[in-house]
Structure 1
Amino acid sequence: MDYAAFKAVGLALPAVEESTSYGTPALKVKGKLMARLKEDGESVAVRATWEERERLLTIAPETYYSTDHYREHPWVLLRLPQAHRDGVAVLLAKAWLMAAPKSVLKLHGARVEAGMQWPLRECQ
């Protein structure tokens, strides 16, 4: 996967727009950062819960990683060449849920399912 494909998955989520962060392309929902391309052009930083980050780092270290900079922040780094569309879709949906304001969640029918909120149209 490349950044163009990653971006297309993210832009399919409600209220997501292309922007910049730290001088690189980024995806934001109502101005709140949910993912950004790293300076290497091959990785993205994606908002995640602490638990999700640890799970991903454990089960797929060839795809997901972290650095000292992100140690104290709830973000996971994703190597785009190793990424698969389905995994990216779930990862970005979760990042969207964390970044989207309550008004956007309500407007787009987010609901709780198995302990996680999901946007109805995009993730079923």
Structure 2
Amino acid sequence: MPTWDEVVETAERLPEVEETTWYRTPSLRVAGKGFARLRTEAEGGLMLLCDLDEKAALLASGDPAFYTTPHYDGHGSILVDLEKVDPSQLTELIEEAWRIRAPARLK
């Protein structure tokens, strides 16, 4: 089961990632733009930015590691249950979330 510290460690392998807070919760940014946030709301989970098509595919897969809430309907982000997600898939999702926010000079 990946932890927040492991999420940070994975993300910090990418250029210009910084650990900070977003909505008073731990988060990750690249070039000042957030791409991941550890949610402390009732549903918990890790919020990662993603393409809307990717979000639809993850939800349609039936994998219990991925979910959403009405707050995120129509938004390019997926909620990830760190207790259920495959670590290699999580790495891919972190890298994709980073790509969404990273400026072209970093890609």
Q: TM exceeds 0.5?
A: yes
Superposed CA offset, 1:47-69 (max 9, x none):
00000001111114310000000
Residue 12 in structure 1 maps to residue 13 in structure 2: yes
- Residue 53 of structure 1, aligned match among 45, 52, 55: 55
Matched residue SS, 2:74: coil
Q: For the aligned residues, what is the CA RMSD?
A: 1.5
Q: Which has the higher contact order (CA 8 A, sep 6+)?
A: 2
Q: Is the 8 A contact 1:42 1:81 kept in 2?
A: no
Number of aligned positions between the proteins: 105
More helix by percentage: 1
SS of the residue aligned with 1:80? coil
Q: TM-score, normalised by structure 1?
A: 0.79
Runs of 4+ more than 4 Å apart? none
Amino acid at match of 1:103: R
Task: Give ranges in structure 2 of 5+ residues lacking alignment.
Answer: none
Where does structure 1 lack aligned partners over 5 or more consecutive residues?
A: 106-124
TM-score, length basis structure 2: 0.91
Distance 2:62 2:84 in 1: 10
Contact map agreement 1:9 1:89 (CA 8 A) in 2: yes
